[in-house]
């Protein structure tokens, strides 16, 4: 994967993640049963996860060794983001099949994990660009 | 609101939590057993993908087992209540455990 494609897909990955969180917040915070919103948000979470997995091998090859060399703490924070993202994906996929209160609870967990993922992603992106 | 298919809902919840726990346990095992990051980066296979794949497999298996084992609606409701209570503790412990860096 070229650096340009990696950059474009990386931006797309971040955009999909933020959109997924924005869409997810509505059904989680609302007391109404917004199944269509939930499904849309789950689809976006899956798309964000998939795009992250597509660019992950290139990240390991192009950026991770350099990041580990220059800023190991930032690289480890990025590792943490990956792990929490896997949790968010598990909870969102479970919510896709669950219904009622359980679906809402799983989505709330996915939203909490997603917010942490987004925060870590933004922080790591800004810090690694600055160093 | 009662679920339309309580068995499926309970199985999905059990599967989701199993996926989270499976991923966290695999990662913690890797912390102890994996080589340094240099050799890991040089590997052609990517541990993250393996962990995700196995977590998904475990989640599907646990969900299927739960679906087959839970027959009655009141049993499904009990499983659902248990999963409802476990989502936040499991997620919080998982997130904290993943914050333990080598």
Rounded-to-10 torsion of CA A96, B89, A16, B11: -10
Q: Which of B11, B41, B87 sits opposite A65 (nearest CB)?
A: B41
Report the mean per-residue pLDDT for chain A. 89
B59 Cβ under 8 Å from any chain A Cβ: yes
Q: Which of A5-14, A27-36, A108-117 has the lowest mean pLDDT?
A: A27-36
Indicate yes or no: CB of B15 within 8 angstroms of CB of A84. Answer: no
Tokens at A61, concatenated: 């090859």
- Model's pTM, two decimal places? 0.90
pLDDT in tens, B45-83: 788 999 999 999 999 999 999 999 998 889 999 999 999
Q: Does residue B62 sit at the A interface (CB-CB below 8 Å)?
A: no
Q: Which two tokens stand for residue A70?
A: 């220059």
**Is A83 close to B12, i.e. CB distance below 8 A?**
no
State the Cα–Cα distance between residues A8 and A30, nearest whole angstrom: 34
Residue with tokens 């993640």: A17
Q: pLDDT for A40-88, tens place per residue?
A: 989 999 999 999 999 999 888 888 888 888 888 888 889 999 999 999 9
SS3 annotation, chain A: CCHHHHHHHHHHHHHHHHHHHHHHHHHHHCCCCCHHHHHHHHHHHHHHHHHHHHHHHHHHHHCHHHHHHHCHHHHHHHHHHHHHHHHHHHHHHHHHHCCHHHHHHHHHHHHHHHHHHHHHHHHHHHHHHHC
Cβ neighbours of A83 in B, within 8 Å: 23-24, 27, 94, 98
Cβ <8 Å between B3 and A96: no
Contact across the interface for B41 and A97, Cβ inside 8 Å:
no
Inter-chain contact B12–A80, Cβ cutoff 8 Å?
A: no
């Amino acid at each position: 994967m070229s650096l340009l494609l990696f950059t474009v897909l990386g931006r797309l990955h971040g955009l999909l993640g933020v959109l997924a969180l924005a869409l997810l917040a509505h059904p989680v915070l609302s007391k109404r049963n917004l199944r269509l919103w939930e499904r849309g948000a789950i689809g976006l979470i899956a798309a964000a996860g998939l795009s992250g997995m597509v660019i992950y091998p290139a990240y390991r090859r192009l950026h991770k060794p350099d990041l580990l060399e220059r800023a190991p703490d930032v690289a480890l924070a990025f590792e943490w983001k990956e792990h929490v993202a896997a949790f968010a994906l598990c909870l969102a996929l479970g919510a896709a099949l669950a219904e009622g209160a359980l679906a809402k609870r799983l989505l709330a967990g996915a939203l909490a994990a997603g917010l942490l993922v987004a925060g870590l992603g933004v922080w790591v992106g800004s810090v690694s660009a600055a160093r | 609101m009662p679920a339309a298919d309580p068995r499926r809902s309970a199985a999905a919840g059990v599967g989701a939590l199993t996926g989270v726990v499976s991923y966290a346990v695999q990662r913690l095992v890797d912390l102890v057993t994996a080589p340094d990051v240099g050799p890991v980066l040089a590997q052609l296979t990517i541990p993250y993908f393996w962990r995700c794949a196995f977590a998904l497999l475990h989640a599907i298996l646990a969900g299927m087992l739960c679906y087959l084992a839970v027959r009655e609606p009141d049993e499904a409701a009990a499983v659902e209540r248990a999963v409802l209570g476990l989502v936040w503790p499991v997620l919080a412990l998982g997130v904290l455990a993943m914050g333990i860096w080598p």
